[in-house]
Amino acid sequence: MEVVGFLGGATSVSAGLPQLLKCIKSGNTRDLSYATNVVSYIGSSISMYYGISIGHEAIVLITVYSMIMNTLLLGAKLYFEKRDTPLLLCSGPV
């Protein structure tokens, strides 16, 4: 039964993979939310604590996978936003 739980968790977390690939391919991350990443990290941290405290390997592995996906999405967002930031940040004439 643990295998079923692991597969279900891995499948759920993998839902972010197409989003990550699309962001990398298009270079557009404007629609990604920082708040979503923060909430996901908080949830993953709680799940990690729970998994470790009860010694449940599948929960810990799925949580690590989730945190990796979130880190990659956040990294893509930061990278592409920085790349698109103009060098001059003034609105008036120079």
**pLDDT at residue 84, as a whole number:** 65
Q: How far apart are CA 84 and CA 93, in angstroms?
A: 21
Residue for token pair 């939310």: 33
Which range, 6-10, 14-18, 26-30, 41-45, has the best average confidence (pLDDT)?
Answer: 41-45
Q: What's the CATH number where 42 sits?
A: 1.20.1280.290
**Is residue 4 within 8 Å of residue 53, measured between CB atoms?**
no
In a domain, 94, yes or no: no
Residue percentage of the chain with pLDDT more than 70: 87
Average pLDDT, the chain: 81
**pLDDT at residue 87, as a whole number:** 44
Which residue range is the domain that position 59 belongs to? 7-82
Number of domains in the chain: 1
**pLDDT at residue 90 greater than cutoff 50:** no
pTM above 0.85, yes or no: no
In a domain, 93, yes or no: no
> pLDDT tens digits for 29-70?
888 888 888 898 899 899 999 999 999 888 898 899 889 988
Q: How far apart are CA 62 and CA 44, in angstroms?
A: 9
